[in-house]
Structure 1
Amino acid sequence: MTGQPAEPALWALRERISEALSQDGYVYKYDLSLPTERLYDLVPDLRARLGSQAKHVVGYGHLGDGNLHLNVTSEAFSPSLLDALEPYVYEWTARQRGSVSAEHGLGFRKRGVLSYSKPPEALRLMQQLKALLDPQGILNPYKTLPAQA
């Protein structure tokens, strides 16, 4: 034993997961929020669903807040693999009453799928609050919400 606390080594290992996956080929990334009792269930489900289409299906995250970082790797980008993932991942998450977006937000790519986890009324309220707090649209332009419903 080196006398070093285990936490830094464990944290360093966790931080290197994303780096390691990027060396495995193309990575499909999802940042989901799920009930803690279902946090990891999507990983074996996707492994069975995707079979040899995916090299690896890996999930890690934050048990305390139900945040799952789901990563699927393949040799290269594949439209058929993407079709097997989406909207399946979003529909699965919605059935668990989870959210398609967690700690990393919506960004450009996921604003169109927010309706899987938020009803139209909630989306309208979010858009109204965004307009109220950012009337000129200068805070994270185009990154936060779907187009007006």
Structure 2
Amino acid sequence: MKNALQLLLASTLAFAAVPLMAQDIAGTWLRSTGKSKLTFTCNGDKCTSKVSWLKDAAAKEECGKGRPILGMFNGSVKKTGDNVWQGQVYNPEDCKWYSAIATVNGNALSLKGGYKIFGAYVGKTANFTRSN
């Protein structure tokens, strides 16, 4: 009984000492509006994203320029901490690049894009869930 208790205590302490695995941004994410999906592809700490699905793909083009949004490259981020990536994202609706910070929490992705002022992001946040 004493050995079993010691084994249980040792395994509990060993488990507590192991850090939790970091979440990965790579993969496909469905926006909370249900209107689009982004796919992130990573190479080391650097990741790029593209628009991989649009609910209404036929009607969407970049800023009226005639170029389709579907399949277009729209961002580049670099891992800057546990579950955190920072970089640039492109908004095809206004044809502008914005600073961005992305955080992953399980199957949830929060992508905040805007202007970085005194270290804080001022802009809009888009929420996503992991998708197929």
TM-score by length of 2: 0.26
Q: Which has the higher contact order (CA 8 A, sep 6+)?
A: 1
Which is helix-richer, 1 or 2?
1
Q: Point out the structure with the larger strand share.
A: 2
- Based on CA coordinates, which of the two structures has the bigger radius of gyration? 2
